[in-house]
A and B are shown apart, each in its own frame.
Chain A
Amino acid sequence: EAGVTQFPSHSVIEKGQTVTLRCDPISGHDNLYWYRRVMGKEIKFLLHFVKESKQDESGMPNNRFLAERTGGTYSTLKVQPAELEDSGVYFCASSQGRDGIYEQYFGPGTRLTVT
């Protein structure tokens, strides 16, 4: 079974540019989450999809961030325009209930550097 995949693994962009991150969850997982870790700080939640619906987007920092999950499969996270403080590692995770436990499986992350 393939794990959670993320693309690209690294992205370096200039301030003001646009970047789109992609996440492919484990097949059959309805729940998809985005998190990010800014250098030296905790991993912070961004948002949660259940299938194609946004269940919780309380962690989205501002309207420069747009997440989509069309068709309830893969998800994209677009940052437009990027700012210096957006630099960090963006993780995607997916889960599906098993015996009532929704352990989240994480992807390898996308390291975003905004210069």
Chain B
Amino acid sequence: AQKITQTQPGMFVQEKEAVTLDCTYDTSDPSYGLFWYKQPSSGEMIFLIYQGSYDQQNATEGRYSLNFQKARKSANLVISASQLGDSAMYFCAMREGAANSKLTFGKGITLSVRP
């Protein structure tokens, strides 16, 4: 079974609007962490936001927030006030168990911001 599922096809959003990128996960480990990374066309992977399984509040980092619904096993990324520079591929990832353990990635979602 897929541990991280990102099923949306390419996403489009108008500049200055908000967009939600979906991510569902599957784990039986009570201790896990969820990450979102951005990969622009230049290829580097940029860390955006982290949510721990025991965190009570949804994580926020500037224009990024994570809509964490534990019972549904979803960890959607919300980008507010989209900018042209947000156009990129976005990856959801999970680590299970130890805090320094490996990441398992989803297939990624391509986001295009329209002017």
A84 interfacial contact with B, CB 8 Å = no
A14 interfacial contact with B, CB 8 Å = no
**Interchain CA distance A45-B108 in the complex, whole Å:** 15
Q: Are B101 and A48 neighbours in the complex by a CB distance under 8 Å? A: yes
A103 interfacial contact with B, CB 8 Å = yes
A85 interfacial contact with B, CB 8 Å = no
Interface size on A, residues (CB 8 A): 28
Chain A residues with Cβ under 8 A from B105's Cβ? Answer: 35, 42-44
A-B interface contact total, Cβ < 8 Å? 61
Q: Are A56 and B45 neighbours in the complex by a CB distance under 8 Å? A: no
A74 interfacial contact with B, CB 8 Å = no
A39 interfacial contact with B, CB 8 Å = no
Which residue from A31, A97, A103, A106 sits with its C-beta under 8 Å from B44? A106
**Interchain CA distance A78-B97 in the complex, whole Å:** 29
B20 interfacial contact with A, CB 8 Å = no
Residues in B32-71 with C-beta less than 8 Å from chain A: 33, 35, 37, 42-47, 50, 52
